Structure 1
Amino acid sequence: MTSSVLTVGFDLDMTLIDSRPGIKACYQALSAETGVHIDSDLVITRLGPPLEDEMVNWFPAERIPDICARYREMYPTHAIAPTPAMRGAVAAVDAVHAAGGRAVVVTAKYEPNAKLHLKHLGIAVDAVIGDLWAEQKAVALREHGAGVYVGDHTGDVRGARAAGAVSVAVATGPCDEGTLRDAGADVVLTDLTEFPDWLAGHR
């Protein structure tokens, strides 16, 4: 779908929300329940890729589907309340709406849990599409006519480029400014507090 309406896609983890405290708490609870050691401090340094990609570091392959299902089941209890919005997140989404545009979240996170985060934090977006990573995100971005995609990971840059969208990267996650630029980001911002001014100039 193409659209003449400004549509901006946003990643979730480490873009709109600082999911580290909640994810750490959920991994700690999973570790306690299963008796399997998980270095939750290490886990939260590499957020972005799908859950399954992380779980293979701690559990044998045959257990991954059940463990991921259990983690997602535990997640609302342990991860929603401790997770704050990133600095500038609400204002960034508000800037899109103020410009007459639509804001959509496209994330690798399990969609029901992504929606819980946004509801808890009062971040009002127009659509949430979960369970998509890197180039897969381009499917949702194209479907919603997104001309801009904002994310913190090189996978987000790849998704934007695959969709033909402007890649706006924020250096608030595991990838630094140089890494994001090398991956092909069109714009790199320190954080989302810089986004409203960028958007005003972009339009």
Structure 2
Amino acid sequence: MPAEFNRTPPKLLVLFDIDQTLLHTGGAGSRALKLAAEEVLGRPVDLDGMLYAGRTDLALIGEILQRAGLNPDDHPDLAHAIKLAFFRHLPVTLEESTKGRLMPGVPQVLDLLSRNGACLGLCTGNFRYSAFLKLSHFRLADYFAEGGFGDLYPDRADIARDAVRRCFRRFSLSLPPDRIILVGDTPEDVRAGQAVGARTVAVATGIFDEEALRAAGADLVFKDLSDAEGVVRALLPDD
């Protein structure tokens, strides 16, 4: 078991991105999205070259419709149908994936933060339902109860604002921005944290290296979270 620190830290809210920050689905998410789109549109869908990192599920479905020659604003019914089909396919593709894994140190970091008084939340481009499908598959769902998700907003900054509002309400918090931390693996996560005045922590476990994440303005950058105690000591406030 990870060691507990000999102090009781002040209240702190730590918001986590999911994909490539907490876990890697091994392609299960993109596979489920492709199957869902082909089921709804009734024809093959070419997703080659589509960028996933830092984007929202809402934006991805919009791009799929555009690639199919359809204006997403004119077809909310198709977007909704793809979303529901995605929810059906994702549990299957998660089970089928042989490359899915947790990112290094993640369970230990979550455990240490929880046992040292931090409130944990999510700030993710995933739809809420698919976010918890992924977290449940990797046995992380019990760490999280609230957050901001990609159901309503295509922009990560708006998701971060919603995450803070929801977590403050859920956990009865009233914290200054320097007691909010956002952890992610892309420059978009950094930008989202900056939009709410949070401390931004970036991990180079996705497609962006440490140099790119520092250039994006992250307050702290880690190669990964494998040094769980060191990471948590850096996150907890001193006073």
Alignment of 1:86-101 (within 5 A): 86-101=103-118
**Is 1:17 paired with 2:17?**
no
How much has 1:195 moved relative to structure 2?
Answer: 4.7
Corresponding residue of 1:135: 157
Count of aligned pairs: 198
Pair 46,175 (structure 1): closer, same or farther in 2 beyond 3 Å: farther
SS at 2:102's partner residue?
coil
**Percent of aligned positions that are identical:** 25
Corresponding residue of 2:182: 149
CA distance in 1, matches of 2:20, 2:234: 24
Gaps in structure 1 of 5+ consecutive residues: none
CA distance in 2, matches of 1:142, 1:32: 36
CA distance in 2, matches of 1:93, 1:28: 32
The one-character-per-residue Cα deviations of 1:146-180 (angstroms, maximum 9, x if unpaired) are 61110011111111111211100011123222222
The answer to whether the Cα contact below 8 Å between 1:142 and 1:163 also exists between their aligned partners in 2 is no
Corresponding residue of 2:86: 71
Pair 27,115 (structure 1): closer, same or farther in 2 beyond 3 Å: closer
SS at 2:83's partner residue?
helix
1:68 aligned partner, one-letter code = K
Aligned Cα root-mean-square deviation (Å) = 2.5
SS at 1:193's partner residue?
coil
Q: Of the two, which has the highest radius of gyration?
A: 2
How much has 1:72 moved relative to structure 2?
Answer: 3.3
Normalised to the residue count of structure 2, the TM-score between the two structures is: 0.71
The answer to whether the Cα contact below 8 Å between 1:134 and 1:157 also exists between their aligned partners in 2 is no
Pair 32,112 (structure 1): closer, same or farther in 2 beyond 3 Å: closer
The one-character-per-residue Cα deviations of 1:107-148 (angstroms, maximum 9, x if unpaired) are 110111211222222223142322254211133125535611
The answer to whether the Cα contact below 8 Å between 1:168 and 1:186 also exists between their aligned partners in 2 is yes
Normalised to the residue count of structure 1, the TM-score between the two structures is: 0.82
Corresponding residue of 2:170: none
**Is 1:169 paired with 2:169?**
no
SS at 1:148's partner residue?
strand
Corresponding residue of 1:183: 216
**Is 1:52 paired with 2:66?**
no
**Is 1:38 paired with 2:53?**
no
How much has 1:200 moved relative to structure 2?
Answer: 0.9
Pair 19,155 (structure 1): closer, same or farther in 2 beyond 3 Å: same
Gaps in structure 2 of 5+ consecutive residues: 1-9, 168-174
